[in-house]
Structure 1
Amino acid sequence: MGDKIYVTNMDKHTLLTLAMDGTVISTFSDIDLNVPRGFNVTARGQVLVCGSRSNTIIQLDSEGKKLATLATEKDGVNKPWSVFYSCSNDSVLVGVENKDIIVFKVT
């Protein structure tokens, strides 16, 4: 871990995975990722990224491949700006535009 750099591009609706020398490893785009904002890299190297306009939280593997859409507007996610995975209580915390925090228990 610590051998990759992740960069969101809100205009192109992508998350770039870069090597430490700046080489592009992968470019992730998906219909569920519109205006990506915050992201979090978990202890296992997975990446959680917010789709601010798509109202989604997406889970990627360490190489930038989609594993799942974890939460959507149906789950109460509305304009997410930040995300964090807490391994101490197996929860995903999502900060949304109106300054609320939504907590999802991971099962």
Structure 2
Amino acid sequence: MFLCFAVIKCAVSPTGDRLYITCWIEHKLLTLARDGTLLATFTDPALWTPWGVHVTPAGQVLVCGGRSYTIVQVDREGKKKLATLVTGRFDSMCSQRPVCYSSTTSSIIVGTDDDILVFRVE
């Protein structure tokens, strides 16, 4: 059994076998099996108040820290950080940040209250 007081966003793996959930108040990313079994809990100082989560068609897990102004890539199992993709404070970014990846433009797209930010990934 898992406990999360503030589920904000969720995303499903391309194969449908994993569900990724951001828990804003607890500052964690949960990975669940299809049957609801908790597989992993991920926390990292770079993900203070994790908000947005997106799984690319290739299965890459992207998580956006709502107050840490950071986007990290987490392994498929949801256990460890693979890379920090975007970091730093952006004036137009606030706590609500949907995030997604566009394979057409090789870009991470982040929504904010006022803008849509696009970060090229190489």
Fold equivalence (TM over 0.5):
yes
Give every structure 1 segment of 4 or more consecutive aligned residues whose post-TM-superposition deviation is greater than 6 Å: none
Does structure 1 conserve the Cα–Cα contact (< 8 Å) formed by 2:65 and 2:71?
yes
Select which of 99, 105, 112 maps to 1:83. 99
- Structure 2, unpaired ranges of 5+: 1-14
User: How many positions carry a matched residue from both structures?
Assistant: 105
2:121 matches 1:106: yes
Aligned match of 1:68 = 83
Aligned match of 2:37 = 23
2:20 matches 1:6: yes
* CA distance in structure 2 between the partners assigned to 1:8 and 1:106 by the alignment: 23
Task: With the length of structure 2 as denominator, give the TM-score of the two structures.
Answer: 0.80
Coordinate RMSD, CA, aligned: 1.4
Task: With the length of structure 1 as denominator, give the TM-score of the two structures.
Answer: 0.90
Determine which structure has the larger strand proportion and give its number: 1
Alpha-carbon deviation of 1:99? Answer: 2.4
- Structure 1, unpaired ranges of 5+: none
